[in-house]
Amino acid sequence: MEKKNHTRESLEKEFSVNKKLKIVFTKKDGTERTMICSRHADLLPKVTMENVERTTAKPPSETNFPVFDLEKGAWRTFTIANLISIEEIV
């Protein structure tokens, strides 16, 4: 999938269908970043009550999208409008 107007809904669908994705986006500082990421339960860290309380305290953003960076082993967020490309990793 190449550059198009992504929405939270289209990304949620893409991540629900694919276990791992490679995304390219422009960071806030203007640099381009490539990230191998997932939202698939099998690839995410175990959830603790502290994490649940911290992440469920506010509704999801319509402009930012959280993913788990598989290379860094940490949650990251990117701005949906800055997404350049997204592709499935088989």
Specify the number of domains making up the chain.
1
Q: What is the pLDDT along the chain (90 residues), one digit of tens a residue?
A: 445 789 999 999 999 999 999 999 999 999 999 999 999 988 988 866 555 555 556 677 889 999 999 999 999 999 999 999 999 998
> Is 1 within a domain?
no
* 81 lies in some domain: yes
64 in a structural domain: yes
Round to whole Å and give the CA distance between 42 and 90. 15
Residue with the two structure tokens 């930012």: 64
**Residue 24 is part of which domain span?**
8-88
Residue 3 resides in a domain? no
- Whether residue 19 contacts residue 44, with contact meaning beta carbons closer than 8 Å, is answered with no
According to DSSP, the β-strands at 74-79 and 21-26 are: unpaired
Cα distance between residue 18 and residue 39, in whole Å: 9
Residue 23 falls within a domain, yes or no?
yes
Alpha carbon 46 to its chain's center: 17
Question: Could you tell me if residue 75 is inside a domain?
Answer: yes
Answer whether residue 69 is part of any domain.
yes
